[in-house]
Amino acid sequence: MHDTTTTAAAPERESYYLAHQKIYPREIAGRFARLRSLAVWGLLGIFYGLPWIPWGARQAVLFDLPARKFYVFGIVLWPQDFIFLTWLLIIAALSLFFFTALAGRLWCGYACPQTVWTEAFMALERFAEGDRSARMRLDHGPWNGAKIARKSLKQFLWIGFALWTGFTFVGYFTPIETLGREAFALSLGPWETFWTFFYGFATYGNAGFMREQVCKYMCPYARFQSAMFDRDTLIITYDQTRGEPRGARRRGASAQAAGLGDCVDCTWCVQVCPTGIDIRKGLQYECIACAACIDACDSIMDKMGSPRGLVRYTTQHALDGEKTLITRPRIVVYATLLGLLIAGFIVALSLRTPLGLDVIRDRNTLYRTLDDGRVENVYTVKILNKTERARRFRISVTGPGRLVIDPDPAEFTVGSGDVFPAAVRVRRDAYDPLGSETIRFAVVALDNPTTRVTTTARFIAPAH
Ligand code: SF4
Ligand code: SF4
């Protein structure tokens, strides 16, 4: 009979889900913290301040999507100029490659919006709830009046800051002063309301709650940036040879005499880490290179009377006692390409003609033979004035044979940002034995002859 008392042991179920542990980064002062603060507050200042800078009758930076015009200080970019935007994006991508290959994750540690806004939200959190230990005590303590007051203050500050962020974001697309007046009068349009709340909510969620999880689990750059690393890339690392074996010792006591390395195992480098990792375990993709652990360890080394730099910026080659090579092939290639792209961008932008031209031949009649035997074609010459003032332009035409334009002179005033469809007739002498030919239209600004564009069109005539 089958023995029912012995059953096969159920396979052990292992969970691959790691429950999120809230991180309470300790605040640290130091040279890299100062640098980060400078970058963070500088970038935030630019973001919040830029839409308020006036430029003539409008704001300096405005992306007017309905009118399909981007204003960037004195430059007005039209859909035809989107090549410049593409160009800028290529420069930005290449800069990221270049700086990553040269100095590791500089972008993540100092300039990434996730880092910048998380720093701002953490500053508000510290203001409302206190330092690391006060925050931990508050979170683990019972709900009482003080806890409710502090948590409410934090939420109030966070939500206010997030909404201001959403408002500023929309202020890049709608004149921000108008937006401000509408917001005060509670008369924001549906799209403006949606984007203010949407962007505000995204900021609140990412910088207030998700924080390091965005870097660890959502950011694609974190995954592929290591492909740009080599053994000469600047990384933040713990000097294992110097630090191990780690262990506690009294201040001023010789590590060598105690048979220890310089690491006193104080865990400060872990406590300050915004992603909650231990740099002593080696280079990890979660490390955003914020350098907080360098400041933390330097302050401990100062206290212990040991030289700074147990955790430091270095390269793998330097750690192995080899020479670090800065001008290596990939750096030279990136730098050359970047230099060429930037120079090309500046030249192209400065040579950009603020004038557009499009010529459409009247398709209803191929040509007309006039009473005097001349051949006439009719065109619509579309002049696009990309400047911010009305200008007067003259149209001229050249090509084989004696061409005459009607009206003569063909001069038109085009308003700022307008496309003016000028109807012109082009005639060719009767005795001209030519057939259909390509002719060239030119439009020139009367106030500045260097503002000139040309294009070609077909002149249709009966074959002789
Ligand atoms: S390991 Fe150091 S540099 Fe990396 S994220 Fe943590 S504190 Fe910043
Ligand atoms: S801060 Fe420096 S001394 Fe302290 S645990 Fe980290 S590496 Fe060791």
As averages over each run of 10 residues, the pLDDT of the chain (464 residues) reads: 44 64 91 95 96 92 90 85 90 92 90 95 96 94 95 97 97 96 93 96 95 88 82 92 89 81 94 94 90 96 92 92 89 95 93 90 84 90 89 93 89 90 89 76 93 92 74
Q: How far is the CA of 109 from the centre of ligand 2 (A)?
A: 20
- From 279, 281, 299, 300, the mutation candidate for ligand 1 (largest count of ligand atoms within 8 A of CB) is 279
From atom 4 of ligand 2, which residue's Cα is the shortest distance away? Answer: 266
Residue type, 148: I
- Compute the distance between CA of residue 399 and CA of residue 329 in angstroms, rounded to an integer: 52
Q: How many CB atoms lie within 10 A of CB 189?
A: 12
- Say yes or no: CB of residue 289 within 6 Å of ligand 2: no
CA distances in angstroms from 318 to 285, 367, 402, listed in the order given: 20, 78, 76
Per-residue pLDDT, 217 = 87
From atom 8 of ligand 1, which residue's Cα is the shortest distance away? Answer: 290
Q: Which ligand is nearest to the CA of 263?
A: 2
The dihedrals phi and psi of 235, each to the nearest 5 degrees, come to -130, 160
Per-residue pLDDT, 164 = 97
- Compute the distance between CA of residue 332 and CA of residue 234 in angstroms, rounded to an integer: 16
Q: Which ligand is nearest to the CA of 311?
A: 2
Per-residue pLDDT, 12 = 56
Radius of gyration of the chain, Cα coordinates, nearest whole angstrom: 33
- Compute the distance between CA of residue 464 and CA of residue 455 in angstroms, rounded to an integer: 27
- Say yes or no: CB of residue 263 within 6 Å of ligand 2: yes
Q: How far is the CA of 106 from the centre of ligand 1 (A)?
A: 12
3-state secondary structure of 254: coil
- Compute the distance between CA of residue 405 and CA of residue 376 in angstroms, rounded to an integer: 10
- Say yes or no: CB of residue 102 within 6 Å of ligand 2: no
Per-residue pLDDT, 4 = 40
From atom 5 of ligand 1, which residue's Cα is the shortest distance away? Answer: 287
What would the pLDDT profile of 125-177 be if each residue is shown by its tens digit?
999 999 999 999 999 999 999 999 999 999 999 999 999 999 999 999 999 99
Per-residue pLDDT, 79 = 82
- Say yes or no: CB of residue 426 within 6 Å of ligand 1: no
Q: How far is the CA of 27 from the centre of ligand 2 (A)?
A: 15
Q: Which of 249, 285, 246 is nearest to 269 (CA)?
A: 246
The dihedrals phi and psi of 311, each to the nearest 5 degrees, come to -110, 125
From atom 8 of ligand 2, which residue's Cα is the shortest distance away? Answer: 263
Spatial contact of 201 and 208, defined as CB atoms under 8 Å apart: no
Spatial contact of 411 and 63, defined as CB atoms under 8 Å apart: no
Q: Tell which atom from ligand 2 comes closest to the C-alpha of 238.
A: 7
Q: Tell which atom from ligand 1 comes closest to the C-alpha of 269.
A: 7
- Say yes or no: CB of residue 288 within 6 Å of ligand 1: yes
DSSP state of 285: T
Q: Which of 455, 408, 396, 401 is nearest to 428 (CA)?
A: 401
- From 277, 299, 311, the mutation candidate for ligand 2 (largest count of ligand atoms within 8 A of CB) is 311
3-state secondary structure of 347: helix
- Say yes or no: CB of residue 33 within 6 Å of ligand 1: no
Spatial contact of 295 and 29, defined as CB atoms under 8 Å apart: yes
Place of tokens 């005590």: 137
- Say yes or no: CB of residue 230 within 6 Å of ligand 2: no
- From 293, 310, 314, the mutation candidate for ligand 1 (largest count of ligand atoms within 8 A of CB) is 293
What would the pLDDT profile of 12-50 be if each residue is shown by its tens digit?
566 666 677 889 999 999 999 999 999 999 999 999 999
- Compute the distance between CA of residue 138 and CA of residue 148 in angstroms, rounded to an integer: 10
Q: Tell which atom from ligand 1 comes closest to the C-alpha of 290.
A: 8
Q: Which of 24, 199, 194, 11 is nearest to 117 (CA)?
A: 199
Q: How far is the CA of 34 from the centre of ligand 2 (A)?
A: 20
Sheet strand arrangement including 410-414 = 410-414, 391-398, 437-445, 448-459
Per-residue pLDDT, 427 = 92
Spatial contact of 438 and 342, defined as CB atoms under 8 Å apart: no
Written as six digits, the tokens of 387 are: 């400047």
Q: How far is the CA of 273 from the centre of ligand 1 (A)?
A: 5
- Say yes or no: CB of residue 236 within 6 Å of ligand 1: yes
- From 236, 240, 265, the mutation candidate for ligand 2 (largest count of ligand atoms within 8 A of CB) is 265
Spatial contact of 60 and 372, defined as CB atoms under 8 Å apart: no
From atom 6 of ligand 1, which residue's Cα is the shortest distance away? Answer: 273
